[in-house]
Structure 1
């Protein structure tokens, strides 16, 4: 099965009532590292370790680095994770807790990524946080599990940062004969690089990230995600930070699970924008998780 866990698939009574249709949740927040990232990153780490690499280097806004640190620990190999200055203290502490070396560099993920690439040598595998077909293949297993469970659905709602989750879900849909199922791709204002690219008709790079959903903070989506926006039925939606945070608080009340605003963005479609779901009968939301936000932070954001 790999390093990730099969996660629960739950029908959400509260969200189904809000949306006026059955809403199902793929609970990726319950992965050991706290997010869906472990699926693809675990697969990549196992592949590189099998090929003889003796160390991992990664760049991350938080969750990918945490997945690399977790995977490295399970494989008995050292890892160094490069994060930008915007990464929360909570995320940094969790990465260190898993035993990885942590390096803070740069104002955004792009700068941290450039420094990470400089640290790679012949014995080191670079684990990209979102732009790698091995990752997409690993992330696709969440759709495999959903289909094996016998659930049919008419749309998938997910959050977009760099686009790795979207690429993985699209791969999972395609390999299960569901390539016509629409993806509702949700970003927050200030981190909406996919929406900006769709509007421009080409991949664009944001000048900076101004959303509090810092783990959505890739200034440019991967090429694969932009291709999918043109070749797959994709509906791009941009929500406010307030919507994302309110959804996190609502989800905590409704399902007793803490997720971060990057995940709250997808959940906010059911909480704050249920009309977006009206064309669809049964909806699957990827609860991508995120271990980097605390209840205290969510309340501070809500009250700010």
Structure 2
């Protein structure tokens, strides 16, 4: 269901940067890679309804896949999901329910709904088939890059994209490529979990990057990160929105704060990039954002 997305070459300071534009997927985020694969798998088994929990992107991708496959969809969202995302999900024919203050609470409701007969639960990040689908992104990079990059920048919420990237690196043999796993300061479950060697549940994750606000990461991330060269980073909401504005001004791409988080270390000149020459940044989504958001963030930066 997903398409092969472009790799846009540019420079940020002294760095050669490849921008992997997965915001150009039909569902406007990388989510369609894994979710499309998982939905096709369940549809082939005769499932008659998909149920998912989502802050926005995953729900839109499941609704998109369900419409393509002719399978009805129920999406359970938290209160933080903006109204325009609710309209977009409904426009694809999905039933929408709003439950809970954060994604984890919406997820609990979705799991109960998915107990119905002939119904499949489509998680936003925690399923091996999702990771297999997301790994296709790195397989594309292996064909698009002349040489393996020194590092790949990836935004992290629950960790589905990161697990897919790690699987993709294994498939293409890029063991020396470092992964810079970027989280918002107010929702950094991965950094805490890796530091303590166990999944750490956050009491109240907070960030403008609502797509990355989860209380805990996928448990599989602990072992996967230990087996690879993964460096967790955190960025502020201001750094994430600055990156959104910069990408719009420099390359005409409209992205959301969750995606801006992955690009923020580039524009902020983060110390983790020192000594690197060639990196790839996954431009993971441009769904949870409006032109009004970009204008407001630009105004805030000009006033600072």
Fold match by TM threshold 0.5 = yes
If the length of structure 2 is used for normalisation, what is the TM-score?
A: 0.95
In structure 2, stretches of 5+ residues that fail to align are none
Q: Residues of 2 paired with 1:85 and 1:301: CA distance? A: 22
Tell me which residue corresponds to 1:130: 125
Counting only pairs closer than 5 Å after superposition, residues 116-265 of structure 1 correspond to structure 2 as: 116-120=110-114, 121-152=116-147, 153-265=149-261
Q: Residues of 2 paired with 1:214 and 1:135: CA distance? A: 20
Give the Å deviation of 1:206: 0.5
Give the Å deviation of 1:94: 1.2
Q: Residues of 2 paired with 1:257 and 1:194: CA distance? A: 28
> Which deviations, in whole Å up to 9, do the C-alpha atoms of 1:240-262 show, x marking residues without a partner?
00000010001000111110000
| Local SS of the residue matching 1:227 | helix
Give the Å deviation of 1:150: 4.1
Q: Residues of 2 paired with 1:60 and 1:163: CA distance? A: 14
Is residue 29 of structure 2 the alignment partner of residue 35 of structure 1?
yes
Q: Residues of 2 paired with 1:191 and 1:17: CA distance? A: 26
Tell me which residue corresponds to 1:66: 60
| Local SS of the residue matching 2:186 | coil
If the length of structure 1 is used for normalisation, what is the TM-score?
A: 0.95
How many residues matched? 298
Tell me which residue corresponds to 2:264: 268
> Which deviations, in whole Å up to 9, do the C-alpha atoms of 1:90-109 show, x marking residues without a partner?
21111111111110000111
Q: Residues of 1 paired with 2:41 and 2:49: CA distance? A: 12
1:26 to 15, 20, 26: 20
| Local SS of the residue matching 1:210 | coil
| Local SS of the residue matching 1:292 | coil
- With over 3 angstroms needed to count, the CA separation of the structure-2 counterparts of 1:296 and 1:68, relative to structure 1, is same
Q: Residues of 1 paired with 2:48 and 2:146: CA distance? A: 40
Q: Residues of 1 paired with 2:12 and 2:162: CA distance? A: 26
> Which deviations, in whole Å up to 9, do the C-alpha atoms of 1:145-176 show, x marking residues without a partner?
11122432111101000000000000000011
1:90 to 73, 77, 84: 84
Q: Which moved more, 1:188-197 or 1:134-143?
A: 188-197
* Aligned-CA RMSD value: 1.3
